[in-house]
Amino acid sequence: MVRWLPISLLLMLAPILNLSRIDASETDLVHLVGGSGAIDEFDTIVLLPAREDIPTRLIIGDLRGFLHVFEQRPDAFEEVWTSEYFESAIGGLFVADINEDDLEELIVFTQKGRLHYLNLETYSTQWSNPPNEYEQITSMIIENVDEDEQPELIFCADGRLIIYDTHHQFEEWGSDQTNMDATDLLVGDVDGDGADEIVLNTGYVFDARFHDLEWQSPEPFGQRMGLLDLDNDGIVELIGEFNGRFIKIFDVDLRREKSTDP
Ligand SMILES: [Ca+2]
Ligand SMILES: [Ca+2]
Ligand SMILES: [Ca+2]
Ligand SMILES: [Ca+2]
């Protein structure tokens, strides 16, 4: 079971795990966008596959607060559109159908707390959250964690974990804790009880549906996290990457770092 594990981390772990097969489409994508530098892993870059009328597109959100759309040409990419100024650094980009109309939208969040939905054909802004709703957003993922069909925006803003209804655009739930400031999030059943958790890289584990704080780890989980069952017990381990390089493995069900003694 491989979920949400970054390709570079997977490649790094491949010799250890004896992974003989890594999804061909993923490695093709890596090669498409530049050898060993997997540009599609960047949080502020999305790659849209070619369709009959539009070539492969890259959308890049930059530190200066602009979005850029690039289209693939025979040997390179070429910029075809630049956004208005989004008032602070682009923090993350996602492509998802957030309103169940079978069309995907581009979802953008900015460092200073703005959320925007853009039409992926015209790049026009369809919706933005109020300017002063949040001061800072440090991380976001989009996952369906409740009974309604559309996915939720799950993010850390002003130190709180927030679940935001994508379709009706309101805060469904926010944590009481205000000191979490996670820069990476994931959703998965990390303790094998059949229900998903939301994991913050700052060490917090919440029930995804009912929002109870299940565990507060005494140590953080690294700057980047992935999930993989490494010991074939049917429960994924949480793999944390520190300083872009060093790996620690956690057994969240046992609430400790995994023992690596042979
Ligand atoms: Ca849609
Ligand atoms: Ca939902
Ligand atoms: Ca669980
Ligand atoms: Ca396991």
pLDDT by residue, tens only, the chain of 262 residues = 334 555 555 555 554 444 444 344 444 444 455 555 667 689 999 999 999 999 999 999 999 999 999 999 999 999 999 999 999 999 999 999 988 889 999 999 999 999 999 999 999 999 999 999 999 999 999 999 999 989 999 999 999 999 999 999 999 999 999 999 999 999 999 999 999 999 999 999 999 999 999 999 999 999 999 999 999 999 999 999 999 999 999 999 999 999 877 6
pLDDT at 39: 74
Taking the centre of ligand 1 as the mean of its atom positions, its distance from the CA of residue 97, in whole angstroms, is 4
Ligand nearest to the CA of 195: 3
Residue 142 Cα, ligand 2 centroid: separation in angstroms?
10
Nearby residues for ligand 2 (ion, Cβ within 5 Å): 144, 146, 148
Contacts of 198 (CB under 8 A, 6+ apart): 145, 154, 161, 185, 186, 187, 205, 206, 207, 208
Distance 17 CA to ligand 4 centre (A): 13
pLDDT score, position 135: 98
Positive or negative, the CA dihedral 37, 42, 44, 49 is positive
Say how many Å lie between the CA of residue 54 and the centre of ligand 3: 41
pTM of this prediction? 0.85
Distance from the alpha carbon of residue 2 to the mean position of ligand 4, in angstroms: 12
pLDDT at 13: 57
Ligand 2 centroid from CA 103, angstroms = 17
Which bound ligand lies closest to the C-alpha atom of 236?
4
What is the structure's pLDDT at 136? 98
Tokens of 5: 């594990």
pLDDT the model gives residue 28: 47
The CA 190 to ligand 3 mean position distance, Å, reads 5
Whole-number Å distance, alpha carbon 144 to ligand 4 midpoint, is: 24
CA of 162 to the centre of ligand 3 (A): 19
The whole-angstrom separation of Cα 65 and Cα 84 is: 8
- Find the ligand nearest to 234 CA: 4
pLDDT at 47: 94
Can you give the pLDDT at residue 5?
Answer: 56
Alpha carbons 18 and 109: distance in angstroms, whole number: 37
Q: How far is the CA of 184 from the centre of ligand 4 (A)?
A: 21
What ligand has the least distance to the C-alpha of 208?
A: 3
